[in-house]
Chains A and B, each alone.
Chain A
Amino acid sequence: DTGVSQDPRHKITKRGQNVTFRCDPISEHNRLYWYRQTLGQGPEFLTYFQNEAQLEKSRLLSDRFSAERPKGSFSTLEIQRTEQGDSAMYLCASNPLPREKLFFGSGTQLSVL
């Protein structure tokens, strides 16, 4: 068990560019979650998957955001046409059952210039 890993750790991009983040959950966990966190705030829910099915998306997730988990293992979160307001820490978490303890990755810190 290597824990939840996220890549990259940091991403700096120019406004208008597309970015993609990857999350590898703990292998036996069939639930995977994406959260966004800005400085001084708690994590805000974005979306979650059970296996490869995306079961819920927050209203925070505009049409510029898309998430996939094609084989029910790793997940990607893509942001198209980035805006400065997208600057945040993007956190991935996983767990084997709903409402149980979440295991978080270290996050991807996105800076949009």
Chain B
Amino acid sequence: SQQGEEDPQALSIQEGENATMNCSYKTSINNLQWYRQNSGRGLVHLILIRSNEREKHSGRLRVTLDTSKKSSSLLITASRAADTASYFCATDANNNDMRFGAGTRLTVKP
């Protein structure tokens, strides 16, 4: 079963704008991860945030985690056309493996 749910399902923005994607999950976690997937390819890990962390940055990416609300957000600043992809959150609710949501499909228009 899938653990996380991303919102929105699809997002279309202009190059240079910021993109925010949200993830909600159901049970307690040790960590939450965000991945990116270009069409027809495998997933690429972006960032991992642990349950005792509230915010993490990596380049143009900013991830927040609110364990009281069981939610996380991924912010991509100053988006580029090359950021066009699907973005997935994954949680370790099962303790041994990561379970993924349905993803947010981001389109960045040049």
Which residues in A have some Cβ–Cβ distance to B below 8 Å? Answer: 4, 33, 35, 40-45, 48, 55-56, 89, 91, 93, 98-107, 109
Decide: A99 near B95, CB < 8 A? Known: A41-B102, A44-B2.
Answer: yes
Please choose the segment from B38-46, B63-71, B75-83 that sits at the chain A interface, where 4 or more of its residues have CB less than 8 A away: B38-46
Q: Which of B45, B96, B99 contacts A101 (CB 8 A)?
A: B45
Chain B residues close to A by CB (< 8 Å) = 2, 4, 30-31, 33, 35, 40-45, 48, 88, 90, 92, 94-103
Contact (Cβ within 8 A) B41 A102: no
Query: Are the CB atoms of A91 and B43 closer together than 8 Å?
Result: yes
Query: Which residues of the other chain, B, contact A41 by a CB distance below 8 angstroms?
Result: 102-103
Q: A42-B100, A44-B2, A56-B96 are in contact. Are A99 and B42 (CB under 8 A)?
A: no
With both chains docked as a complex, state the minimum distance between the C-beta of B5 and any C-beta of chain A, in angstroms: 9
What residues of A have a CB within 8 angstroms of the CB of B90 in the complex?
102
Name the A residues within 8 Å of B41 (CB-CB). Answer: 106-107
Determine if A42 and B31 form an interchain contact, defined as CB atoms under 8 angstroms apart.
no
Q: Are A102 and B95 in contact (CB under 8 A)?
A: no
- Are A109 and B40 CB-contacts (below 8 A) given A42-B103, A43-B88? yes
